[in-house]
Amino acid sequence: MDLSDIFEHLNSVTAIPIVPYKNGKINTAGHRKNIRYLMDNNHLDGDRKRVISIAGTSLIHHFTPEEQIELIDIAGQEMGGEGILMAGIVPNPIATAEDLIRQQAALPAPPDVYLLMPLSGVADPDGIYEVYLELGEDLGDDCGAQFLLYMRTKDHMDVIIRLINESPNFIGVKVGTTEEDIPTLMRGIGDNGIVMWGVGDRSTKAAGLGAIGHTSGISIVAARASDEINNAQRAGDLKASQQVEDLIAPLENLRFVNSRQYNYSAVVEAMKIGGWDDVEAGEGGPFNPRVPENIAAQVREAVSLLEAYH
Residue by residue, pLDDT tens for the chain (310 residues) are 677 788 999 999 999 999 999 999 999 999 999 999 999 999 999 999 999 999 999 999 999 999 999 999 999 999 999 999 999 999 999 999 999 999 999 999 999 999 999 999 999 999 999 999 999 999 999 999 999 999 999 999 999 999 999 999 999 999 999 999 999 999 999 999 999 999 999 999 999 999 999 999 999 999 999 999 999 999 999 999 999 999 999 999 999 999 999 999 999 999 999 999 999 999 999 999 999 999 999 999 999 999 999 9
Domain ranges of the chain: 3-309
pLDDT of residue 3: 76
Given the DSSP bridges, would you call strands 147-151 and 194-197 parallel, antiparallel or unpaired? unpaired
pLDDT of residue 129: 97
Phi, psi of 114 (to 5 degrees): -115, 135
Check the CA dihedral 89-24-73-64 and report its sign. Answer: positive
Q: What is the CATH number of domain 3-309?
A: 3.20.20.70
Q: Is 208 exposed, middle or buried (0-12, 13-18, 19+ CB in 10 A)?
A: middle
CB 161 within 8 A of CB 189: yes
CA 162 to chain centre: 23
